[in-house]
Amino acid sequence: MTEPAQVVWTMPELVRTAVMALAVLVAVVSVVSARNTAKKKQTADLLFAVRSDDRLIEASRALKELHHSDNNIRLWADPEHDCKIHNQEAQIQNIRYILNHYERLSVGLQAGIYHEGMLKKSQFTIITRTYEWAKPFMEGVREKTNSPTAFQEFEWLAKRWSKRRLSARKTP
């Protein structure tokens, strides 16, 4: 009589085990593929929403104008500072709106909700430039509120992408 530890595998058992292993592998690949597809869909939805976000477009224009003006937007982080600019409060709200938008985008990216490659290809310039232009304001907010974490996720993303810039696509 054979001992239980010396069980000999028969051909049907080997086939059944191989089929089960293959089924598990297919299931894992399907889950990973579905997750990647969902990530890309979320990213595409975000990109289409950004295109029609009038407030974000206006905020981007306002930040660009402020950057190219003689105003020190770092001072605008102080609510008590009066820059003697028409619609200063609206401009400040625009700056905060765009910074909060990219902060949320960065958090979503870090959480694995968005596909970084798609975002980087479509948003690289606007994100890195927005960071560059808004950095003095962000520093002012951190100083005035004594909150070193203000806009830190957006800063993380902009610096990350600046280190690994987009490469030019070769044309055929």
Specify burial of residue 2 (Cβ count, 10 A radius: 0-12, 13-18, 19+): exposed
pLDDT for 8: 59
Q: How many helices (H) and strands (E) does the chain have?
A: 5, 0
pLDDT for 34: 83
SS3 51: helix
Confidence of residue 4 (pLDDT cuts 50, 70, 90): low
Give the separation between CA 98 and CA 108, rounded to whole angstroms. 15
Is pLDDT of 61 > 90? yes
**pLDDT tens digits along 17-52:** 888 888 888 888 888 888 888 899 999 999 999 999
Q: What's at 93, amino acid-wise?
A: Q
**pLDDT tens digits along 133-147:** 999 999 999 999 999
- pTM, whole model, 2 decimals? 0.80
Is pLDDT of 12 > 60? yes
Contact 103, 151 (CB under 8 A): yes
Q: What's at 75, amino acid-wise?
A: L
**pLDDT tens digits along 92-105:** 899 999 999 999 99
pLDDT for 6: 56
Average pLDDT, integer, range 105-124: 95
Confidence of residue 119 (pLDDT cuts 50, 70, 90): very high
- What's the whole-number average pLDDT of the chain? 88
Contact 58, 50 (CB under 8 A): no
CA-atom Rg of the chain in angstroms:
26
Considering the chain, what percentage of its residues have pLDDT values greater than 90? 56
Give the separation between CA 149 and CA 171, rounded to whole angstroms. 42
Contact 19, 26 (CB under 8 A): no
